[in-house]
């Protein structure tokens, strides 16, 4: 089975990205064919400084490699290194109804925030469909916020197949409940754009400060607490197995639990969890040439797969005169 997902190089990685997408991708590579990429063409919709985009793209490559993507076992590449994706985007554009794109939540949210509408922002889901269909992906692990984009990809694939004959695999989203929406410090979805993240590679004092500022309720120490409505519990649970979660739940239900103490513990758990990755990341960041070689090799491998689907789409549409 082919598993595929991408991430934008638009800032620091946080726990939401890691648990909803990156960790699952890394687990998938053991038993499936994994396609994992850094979507710098998508990031052009929000990053307008060349040097910043370069640096963020390089950092995202190091992040994934440090966290355990194995470029030998999987296809790991930068989106723009496979130019086939832009050609496919055009072929897909012509079976994509305006209405489908106009209904995009992400597009509408951005407009509502006052971000000027441009064609890139509007066509974002078509490029994303091309990212997925170009590799015949069966499964796409993402967080819940990407569900509609996946539905659009499926619609576009079905329309293309109906118009021109069966060319594309219609992919399935993979969004397990446990990580569909990782909450941030304030209980809303953890997101760069809400400023409520816990970043996985920030310095220790910054990370600690963030954890200590997780919002909790005003239940007095001596009263039992409700784990099911507690943001701190939800975040801590990401690091616990079934038994650990049960134990933490029991501590919540007994009187005397101090949120401050749980936060201190959690800060330590997070720090230790990412420590080995942090060290590996520092090494990679110091070796840009080595990292570039890995990415070039990844793109070559990916292009070989992309060529197959692009050729089929070219033939189906008749541009291969
Ligand atoms: P952000 O919202 O911080 O800008 P991205 O849009 O770059 O994050 O998300 C990258 C990936 O991580 C996507 O698959 C997205 O669904 C997932 N993701 C991001 N934040 C969360 C979250 N809080 N809960 C679950 N998944 C998330
Ligand atoms: N839109 C996704 C996000 O913001 C990133 C993305 C681009 C993606 N292409 C993709 C995710 C293909 C999965 C598959 O997170």
18's tokens: 């890691």
Low-confidence ranges of the chain (pLDDT < 50): none
Instruction: Report pLDDT for 250.
Output: 97
**Where exactly are the structural domains of the chain?**
2-181+287-317, 202-273
pLDDT value for 10: 78
Q: How far is the CA of 300 from the centre of ligand 1 (A)?
A: 28
**50 C-alpha to ligand 2 centroid (Å):** 21
First CA to last CA distance, the chain: 33
- Give the predicted TM-score (pTM) of the model: 0.94
> For residue 14, which atom of ligand 1 is closest to its CA?
3
Closest CA to 197 of 209, 210, 179: 210
Provide the pLDDT for residue 193: 85
What class is the 2-181+287-317 domain?
A: alpha beta
The ligand that comes nearest to the alpha carbon of residue 42 is: 2
125-160: pLDDT as tens digits: 999 999 999 999 999 999 999 999 999 999 999 999
Would you state the pLDDT for residue 272? 97
Q: How many residues does the chain have?
A: 321
pLDDT at 313: 98
- Which residue, by CA, sits nearest to atom 7 of ligand 1? 8
The predicted pLDDT at position 102 comes to 97
pLDDT at 11: 78
Domains 2-181+287-317 and 202-273 share a fold: no
Whole-angstrom distance, CA of residue 319 vs CA of residue 321: 5
As its CATH architecture, domain 202-273 has: Orthogonal Bundle (1.10)
Distance in angstroms (rounded) separating the CA atoms of residues 40 and 28: 23
- Distance, in Å, from the CA atom of 26 to the CA atom of 193, rounded to the nearest integer, reads 25
């Amino acid at each position: 089975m082919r598993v595929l997902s991408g991430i934008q190089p638009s800032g620091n990685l946080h726990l939401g990205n890691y648990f909803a997408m990156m960790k699952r991708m890394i687990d998938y590579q053991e038993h499936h064919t994994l396609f994992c990429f850094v979507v710098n063409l998508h990031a052009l919709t929000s990053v307008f400084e060349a040097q910043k985009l370069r640096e963020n793209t390089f950092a995202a490559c190091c992040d994934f490699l440090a966290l355990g993507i194995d470029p030998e076992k999987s296809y790991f590449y930068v989106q723009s290194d496979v130019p086939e994706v832009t050609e496919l985007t055009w072929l897909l554009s012509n079976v994509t109804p305006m209405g489908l794109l106009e209904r995009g939540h992400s597009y509408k949210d951005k407009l509502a925030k006052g971000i000027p509408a441009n064609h890139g922002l509007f066509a974002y889901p078509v490029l994303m469909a091309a990212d997925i269909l170009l590799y015949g992906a069966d499964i796409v692990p993402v967080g819940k916020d990407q569900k509609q984009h996946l539905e659009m990809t499926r619609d576009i694939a079905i329309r293309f197949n109906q118009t021109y004959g069966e060319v594309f695999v219609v992919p399935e989203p993979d969004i397990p409940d446990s990580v569909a929406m990782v909450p941030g410090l304030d209980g809303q979805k953890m997101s760069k754009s809400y400023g409520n993240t816990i970043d996985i590679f920030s310095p220790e004092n910054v990370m600690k400060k963030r954890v200590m500022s997780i919002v909790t309720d005003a239940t007095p120490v001596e009263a039992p607490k409700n784990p099911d409505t507690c943001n701190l519990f939800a975040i801590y649970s990401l690091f616990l197995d079934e038994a650990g979660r049960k134990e933490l739940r029991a501590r919540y239900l007994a009187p005397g639990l101090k949120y401050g103490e749980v936060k201190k513990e959690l800060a330590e758990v997070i720090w230790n969890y990412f420590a080995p990755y942090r060290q590996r990341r520092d090494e990679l960041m110091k070796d840009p040439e080595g990292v570039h070689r890995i990415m070039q090799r990844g793109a070559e491998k990916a292009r070989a797969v992309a060529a197959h689907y692009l050729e089929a789409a070219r033939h189906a549409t008749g541009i291969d005169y």
